[in-house]
Amino acid sequence: MKIRFSNNKLAKQMENATAIKRSFGVMAKKVSMRLDDITAAPNLAILKQLPQAGCHQLKLDRAGEWAVSISGNFRIIFELDHDPVPLKEDGSIDEILVSNIVITGVEDYH
């Protein structure tokens, strides 16, 4: 998938292995692995099939956001970067057509 970042600070934190290590410390290896998983997946449907990613849609006050697992409670948070978001006839998201995301943060939202 194609990744964009919501702000310059986040883009700099994730621009290379050194920046990831500096920004995320002990979680750096897993952050890098999840970024690799996201990049390698051609679409959201494939990303959701990767058990290590634990990709899921968020609910309630975080509706419209998605997450992939890093470790424990920490997640990479992202939104779908499509306007409009591709939908199926039943109104659900057509995950096969979702190929662009915008990463909005790395956090423990629990």
Q: What is the pLDDT of residue 109?
A: 76
Position 103 pLDDT exceeds 90: yes
Q: Which pLDDT band, with edges at 50, 70 and 90, does 3 fall under?
A: very high
- Average pLDDT on 58-74 reads 94
Going by C-alpha positions, the residue among 61, 82, 67 that lies closest to residue 34 is 67
Range of the domain at 15: 2-108
Tally the domains of the chain.
1
Position 96 pLDDT exceeds 90: yes
58: CATH: 3.30.2310.20
Q: Give the HSE-up count for residue 64: Cα atoms under 13 Å, Cβ half-sphere.
A: 8
Amino acid at 102: V
Would you state the structure tokens that stand for residue 72, as one six-digit string? Answer: 């424990």
The H-or-E segment that residue 19 falls in is: helix 17-24
- Average pLDDT on 13-32 reads 96
Q: Which pLDDT band, with edges at 50, 70 and 90, does 92 fall under?
A: very high
Position 72 pLDDT exceeds 90: no
Would you state the structure tokens that stand for residue 87, as one six-digit string? Answer: 């939908």
CA distance linking residue 53 with residue 86, whole number of Å: 22
Would you state the structure tokens that stand for residue 13, as one six-digit string? Answer: 């934190």
User: Hunting for tokens 């964009």 — which residue is that?
Assistant: 4
